[in-house]
Amino acid sequence: MNSDSVRLLNIPVLPLRGVTVFPSVLFHFDVGRRRSVKALEKAMNQGQHIFLLTQRDNRVEDPEPEDLFEVGTFCMIKQILKIPGDSVRVLVEGISRGRVKSFRATDPFMVADIELVESKAPARRTKRDIAVIRSARELFMEYAGLVPRMNGEIFQSIMDSDDMGYLADYIAQNIQLKYQDKQRILELTDARRRLTEMVYVLQNEIEILELEQELQDRVKEQVDRNQRDYYLREQAKVINEELGEGEDTVSESQEYIERIKALSLDAESEEKLIKEARRLARMQSSSPETGVIRTWLDTCLDLPWHKVSKENGDIAKAAAVLDADHYGLEKVKERILEFFAVKTLTGGVKGQIICLVGPPGVGKTSVARSIARSMGRSYARLSLGGVRDEADIRGHRKTYIGAMPGRIITALRQAKTRNCLILIDEIDKLGADYKGDPSSALLEVFDSEQNVAFRDHFVELPFDLSDVLFITTANSMETIPAPLLDRMELIQLGSYTDEEKLEIVRRHILPKQIKKHGLRASTLKLDDAVLRLVITGYTREAGVRSLERQLARLCRKVAKYITETGKKSLTFTAENLHEYLGTPKFKQEKPIEIPECGVVNGLAWTQSGGDMLEVECALIKGKGKLELTGNLGDVMKESARAAITYLRSRVVAFGLPEDFHSANDIHIHFPEGAIPKDGPSAGITTATALYSAITGAPVGKDIAMTGEISLRGRVLPIGGLKEKTMAAFRNGVKTVLIPAENQPDLDDIDQKVREKLDFIFVSHMDEVVAHVFGCTVQVDIPKVEPELPELVGIAAPAQDRRPGVRQ
């Protein structure tokens, strides 16, 4: 029966994307679309026959009949395997070509009537046919030589077959062609024409593959040539190095070497630098190591190995600069001028480490900058607040990615001179963790015996730091490590008094803020009374930072006023100041207007300056209970107990009731309970308040006192006398009782304060009672006269020298 007339009905159709299957060839593919899986299921139930059609456009996800070619392959399903997911793998064998006559259904899968198409073999094989077959075989062998990984069974099948149709189909199935080209081969039913077309296709593919191979060969040849050139260059460098001609091979390396020799360093440093420069010349420019070497060489060569700035040798000029930049701070200025004097006599001062200690805002950083200007030295600053890594001081090893020098070397590069002034700010805020202790790294920097050859981990060359003047700043000495503290000379910067703040405002802050806000001196009118009100009512600090912010507010108010009104100036007075700055934040404590029993003015030191507070004492009938209130620390509580014990020991001398402590409950209170208070300097104040409460004698409103008391009534020295006396002056006190041992500290007190206050020096609590209450203490202590021997010539017994026995 002629196959042209064979017509098959209701055959499931499976669309293929980018794939074409030929008759008489085994082929496997994966199926994942729902309609295609259903078509397979139908085919398995209907004799395992299925018709495969290729899509015209493989981008169509759900093809319809018009999206498919008309000619396909009628196949027998050999095997179906489920693979992970919802897909199946199908192995089919092509039986015959076929053409779709009509589609019967498209859902849930395609069903069509097809007509099988017979491959037309030549009736008689000619010599031309034999030549075409041989050409096809030879071209395929040549094609296989250009395409790797060709299966050996394919060669055998092609060499064994003489069927022109089968040979064309088999070759088309096993070479890399576009599915459109394969479809064109499939639609050719004449075997002779099909194989001839296949020969043309093979020739075209071979030409393309040969061009690709030629391009690949050229690329490989270029790579091989570059590699060969690299090896030759490296060999030439080694040969030139052995001949002593390596320094001239690379201009960059030669430039580095010339710069190194121009520095005239010590032999060790110069040898290491030149070695790295020559190593740079031998390295390939694309190597990451070249960047590391360049960075290291640039860092080392930028250091001021011998560059020294010309310093100011005129001590009078230096003093003028310090006075112009800062008001007060006499101790700091004196110490710097002493440094000048010693340097003038000796020609140089090494190992001088100055630590400026004081509360925030008193001008420690600006003092260091002023010192550098007065000395004519370049200035560099580094802050150590929160630094926890030792590498921040000594740098990182250059072998690490992103390595950099430490802060000391970075500051030297910034200053550009070896005799610079380096300010190390916030040295009391150094930390330590698992990365190391940065304070230990500073020991070598500050030690004059070691810093002559300081080695940074990144630079790795010894650098002399002995000409550098280090100045450090700290808010507190307690957190500075002891070994580090031992290497520094401490200079205390106390808080500014109100008079000092007034002068600082007039000389520095106000002109600076006027210029900053685009004003003129005539547009802002402030007298001293208004400035004092700003200082006392709107700020309470040791320094002047908050004061500067308040003055900046006033400048902004003036700028707004003259812009809106067109007027040329604005005058601030004590009456209208609150309209611009608001209600004063700090109320000035009024002194006791009417003297009261049990209330005494005490003087206290705070971080923001001095303050005056009333100490109140009350006795209530009770059973001897002691109550201490006012947010007191342990030291202040112990001082109050010591005052009570002292009065108990002096009841006879003062004529006090012997049972005042047991028949009454004693309550001692320090006002402003929200503020923590501690320290022993309120001892004599507490004892005086308790004496007043017991005797009913009031204490004058113009008297204030400070001093520590012992159990035996001795008045011990205290600190912060400058700030305490300023608080007394500010609150209208006339007389201040201070320990006699603090008499030398009067030199530090403001001259105006010394002129207005009457100082009484006391060494015992009895003197305090006598001055405050105007009474004479009667001390009734019996004296025991020692019995002398009656016989002349008999020596008196020797004094007892045992430990603990006081003579």
Tell whether 408 and 434 lie within a shared domain.
yes
Distance from C-alpha of 368 to C-alpha of 478, rounded to nearest angstrom: 22
Q: Phi-psi category of 51—alpha, beta or left, where left has phi over 0 and alpha has psi -120 to 50? A: beta
Least confident of 99-113, 140-154, 352-366, 646-660: 140-154
Contact 174, 28 (CB under 8 A): no
CA gap 770, 768 in Å, rounded: 5
The pLDDT value recorded for residue 760 is: 92
- With bands split at pLDDT 50, 70 and 90, how would you rate the model's confidence at 152? low
Same domain, 635 and 664: yes
The residue segments making up the domain with residue 276 are: 246-302
For the chain, give the mean pLDDT. Answer: 82
Please indicate, yes or no, whether residues 502 and 488 belong to a single structural domain of this protein.
Answer: no
657-693 CB burial, b ≥16 within 10 A, e <16: eeebbeebebbbbbeeeeeebebbbbbbbbbbbbbbb
How far, in whole angstroms, is CA 376 from its chain's centroid? 33
CB neighbour class for 176 (10 Å; exposed up to 12, middle 13-18, buried from 19): exposed
Residues 591-608 have a mean pLDDT of 79
What's residue 706's pLDDT? Answer: 92
Please state, in angstroms and rounded to a whole number, the distance separating the CA atoms of residues 349 and 469: 9
**Tokens read off for 446:** 């500050």
pLDDT at residue 396 above 90?
A: no
In this predicted structure, what is the pLDDT of residue 173? Answer: 84
State how far the Cα of 690 lies from the Cα of 713, in Å rounded to an integer: 14
Q: Is residue 147 part of a domain?
A: no
Is the model's pLDDT at 108 over the cut of 60? yes
* Per-residue pLDDT at 592: 56
Q: Answer with the one of 62, 84, 117 that is the final residue of a domain.
A: 117
Q: Which one of 302, 327, 347 terminates a domain?
A: 302
Token pair recorded at residue 190: 């004449």
386 and 505 in a single domain? The answer is: no
- Do the domain assignments include residue 220? no
256 and 322, same domain (yes or no): no
18 and 69 within one domain: yes
Ordered DSSP codes for 251-283? HHHHHHHHHHHHH---HHHHHHHHHHHHHHHHS
466 in catalytic set? no
Cα–Cα distance for residue pair 273/296, rounded to 1 Å: 9
| 238 falls within a domain | no
* Gap between the Cα atoms of 420 and 414, Å rounded: 10
The tens digit of pLDDT for each residue in 676-719 reads 888 888 899 999 999 998 888 888 888 999 999 998 889 999 88
Name the band, by pLDDT with cuts 50, 70 and 90, for residue 789. Answer: very low
Cα separation, 261 vs 257, in Å, equals 6
Phi, psi for 454 (deg, rounded to 5): -70, 130
Question: What pLDDT score was predicted for residue 593?
Answer: 67
DSSP states of 239-256: HHHHTT-GGGS-HHHHHH
Q: Percentage of residues in the chain with pLDDT exceeding 90? A: 9
Instruction: Give the model's pLDDT for residue 787.
Output: 41
Could you tell me if 308 and 418 are in contact, meaning their C-beta atoms sit under 8 angstroms apart? yes
User: 694 and 645: one domain?
Assistant: yes
d(CA 57, CA 69): 10
* Cα 413 to Cα 300: distance, rounded to the nearest angstrom: 9
Whether residue 510 is contained in a domain is answered as: yes
Active-site annotation holder among 119, 253, 374, 681 = 681
CATH of the domain at 482: 3.40.50.300
| Active-site residue (options: 501, 677, 701, 724) | 724
Min mean pLDDT across 56-70, 420-434, 774-788 is at 774-788
pLDDT of 803? 32
Q: Which of 105-114, 428-437, 611-620 has the lowest mean pLDDT?
A: 428-437
* Cβ atoms of residues 327 and 503 within 8 Å: yes
**CA 369 centroid distance within chain:** 25
In a domain? residue 784: no
Which of 117, 149, 167 is a domain's end point?
117
Q: Which of 278-292, 529-543, 560-574 has the lowest mean pLDDT?
A: 278-292
Are 630 and 709 in the same domain? yes
For the segment 309-333, the average pLDDT, to the nearest whole number, is: 82
Same domain, 503 and 483: no
Cα distance between residue 724 and residue 29, in whole Å: 98
Name the pLDDT band for 242 (thresholds 50, 70, 90): low
Q: What is the pLDDT of residue 309?
A: 85
On whether residue 586 sits in a domain, the answer given is no
**Residue 395 φ then ψ, to 5°:** 85, 175
CA dist 404 and 394 (Å) reads 10
Average of per-residue pLDDT across 311-339: 82
pLDDT of residue 212: 85
Q: What is the CATH classification number for the domain harbouring 697?
A: 3.30.230.10
Domain count, the chain: 5
Residue 240 in any domain: the answer is no
Do 564 and 679 share a structural domain?
Answer: no
pLDDT higher than threshold 70 for residue 555: yes
Q: Where are the beta strands (DSSP E) in 622-661?
A: 626-629
Tokens 């808080």 found at: 495
Instruction: Give catalytic status of residue 568 as yes or no.
Output: no
Please say if the pLDDT value at position 781 is more than 70.
no
Tell whether 203 is covered by a domain.
no
487 and 374 in one domain? yes
* CATH code, 544: 1.10.8.60
| pLDDT at res. 795 | 32
* Spatial distance between the Cα atoms of 277 and 271, rounded to a whole number of angstroms: 10
- Same domain? For 633 and 529 the reply is no
